[in-house]
Structure 1
């Protein structure tokens, strides 16, 4: 059974449409560039979100911002203070920071507060060093 030239396979038109759709450039919309695009689209102050607890500013609960000296990422002051007890690198970009600043917020805080943070690196615990852990597999 031969088909005439005017008849076409219904799947063929679907294949043509698929092939005709333009592809985005390689790497577009992936990884860091996608995150940067999302950040630039969501630049509104009311939509800031703590990078640690993910609490959003403007949700009714007041957030006391903690600013670190290495980057412009947004964190709650209490969250970044707790983080700095273990690690002195930004949780998002991993840049080392040495101070945390809490801006003045009258009437709660009349002056800003600067907290100096010692250089800290998160320690990796070896299971072999834990008491009661056998050194050889049994």
Structure 2
């Protein structure tokens, strides 16, 4: 329960609309509102949005590295540390569908947050 509150807060604070920095898409929020607790539908919503967020993360991370100059290795190390932190925070040893959903939401929240971070950092380059 201690972990669930910060995750829900992160997801709620992620922003309104896909166009905002690192925010979850309107389609995802609508999809999640229409699941009526069906775990299969919840997982499909999460999978689709995670794909979008991973694409954004990759796009802005590459742009971030492109403009890193002499700090490129430092930025790569920071990114690897973030990936390690996400793995520690989000993955649990359990086979329950509800735990799988919680893990996916955790990964989605952290990915969305990191994509937003890179997007904000790269906006100065434009």
Does TM, scored on the shorter chain, surpass 0.5? Answer: no
> Could you tell me the TM-score, scaled by structure 1's length?
0.21
Q: Which has more radius of gyration?
A: 1
> Could you tell me the TM-score, scaled by structure 2's length?
0.22
